[in-house]
Amino acid sequence: MSINVALDGPSGAGKSTIAKAAAQKLKYLYVDTGAMYRAVALYVLSNGKNPDDENEVELALDNININLIHTDEGQRIILNGEDVSDKIRTPEISMAASKVSAIPKTREFLLSLQKNIAKENNVIMDGRDIGTVVLPQAQVKIFLTASSEERARRRYEELIAKGEKVEYEDILRDINERDYNDTHREIAPLKKADDAIEIDSTSISLEAAIDKIVWTIKNVVTKDTRYETPQLRPVIKGKKTPLWKRIAHEFLRLVAKAIYYTYLDLHFEGVENVPKDGSNIFASNHRSYTDPILISLKPKVMFSFMAKEELFKKNIFFTLIIKMFGAFPVSRGKGGAEAIDKSIERLNKGYNLVIFPEGTRSKDGKVLKGKTGVALVAAMAQVPVIPVGIVFEGKIKFRRKVTVRFGEPIIPKEIGVDDCSSKKLRMLKNKIMASITELVEGNVNKL
């Protein structure tokens, strides 16, 4: 028997992006029903028809043939033999799709195709009425929502990144209008199914929303409590790594210090904030591949940090070096649960853990938007977070001035983070990112 996941919600809540990522992690088939309605809308507009005119739209359906093709890049929408996957992603098509989807014959036209796909495959299908009309018997029903302002902001940034000239106010107005149309139409209006699980993505990162939905699906389907909302896994501080490892680490640290102090004009500030024991998280901005080593030059406790699995396949010598400095591999597509498990395992062994909340290097030195991962690990493990700011000055690499600043430890429990709820993770993440930003800007004395 196939497993069906119905993912409903308003326009711009992130359904397509999140459903696609969740389907990839679960090895399910992703079905974007909204794209089907957009394809109908594209045909109607391209042929001079009025999407508000029921008769014109019904006549147009006789000339429409829609196919879904699943490639390595994801689902592609084929309209009458043409790949229109990119053409259907405009505000004009979005509004027209809302109108044609309210016409009974349009829904009837696409419904059989959607049901047949779900009958033959394990699917995650997203839309407006999947849990109430298309797949009312789905084993898992999720209603994904977000505030209209947040949805408009996401859409605005997406279109600006594509080079389109749009106004935020226009997009917000379109979203509010579409919300009204979708919830007030007579046929299959947008509404949460009675047995659906509601997830609000307004204030959580994309990665957190994906993980939450994957956990929800696995918990419902397998009844495995490992996939419920993350629970606390407090680390017992005071554990020490084996003596031989500490000796080897100290030797490497002294060698690295000699090299870095020769090559760079290296300065450390706020060293008094560095704990003398292990099982702490050092959360830093990300400037270069050498950041983990820079951070580990002052503390005498062994460090560990996660690195892309691909880095361990470059060559034997490189792999040996990064392993000696505490790196452990994390596979693409498995970053959530795998990274958390390995991170807490290292903390339990007495290692300090380096995490870069931005997730990528900043080319201009400005602190980028942080992700929730660091807050999730810190909250689950209930360990201190030491914010770190790394500042490069000048463009000449040899004897370039580099300052590493350590801020005051952030203790999750002391600021009220005693569980892994979205609200508290967001509070902890914001506190960490604010501290990192102040350190990078040089205001270390304010922390």
DSSP state of 375: H
User: How do the domains of the chain map onto residue ranges?
Assistant: 4-227, 243-446
Radius of gyration of the chain (CA): 25
- The residues, ordered by sequence, that sit 6+ positions from 302 with a Cβ below 8 Å of its Cβ are 241, 245, 246, 249, 278, 326, 350, 351, 352
Mean per-residue pLDDT, 101-107: 90
**pTM for this entry:** 0.51
Strand partners, 214: none
Exposure string over 119-142, b if 16+ CB within 10 A, otherwise e:
eebbbbbbbbbbbbbbbeebebbb
Mean per-residue pLDDT, 28-48: 92
283: nearest Cα among 381, 374, 417, 412? 374
| pLDDT-based confidence at residue 348 (cuts at 50, 70, 90) | confident
- Give pairs for 134-139: CB < 8 Å, separation 24+: 134/6, 134/33, 135/4, 135/6, 136/193, 137/4, 138/4, 138/5, 138/6, 139/3, 139/4, 139/5, 139/220, 139/221
Mean per-residue pLDDT, 73-93: 89
- Residue 200, classed as helix, strand or coil, is strand
In CATH, the number for domain 4-227 is: 3.40.50.300
Dig out the tokens for 420 from the structure.
């892994």
Q: Tell me what pLDDT residue 362 has.
A: 86
Q: What is the pLDDT of residues 382-420, one digit of tens each?
A: 999 999 999 998 877 788 899 999 999 999 999 999 888
Mean per-residue pLDDT, 340-356: 87
**More reliable by pLDDT, 267 or 205:** 267
Q: Tell me what pLDDT residue 224 has.
A: 56
Q: Tell me what pLDDT residue 330 has.
A: 67
282: nearest Cα among 370, 352, 372, 339? 352
Q: Tell me what pLDDT residue 447 has.
A: 37
Q: Tell me what pLDDT residue 384 has.
A: 96
| pLDDT-based confidence at residue 134 (cuts at 50, 70, 90) | very high
Q: What is the chain's mean pLDDT, rounded?
A: 86
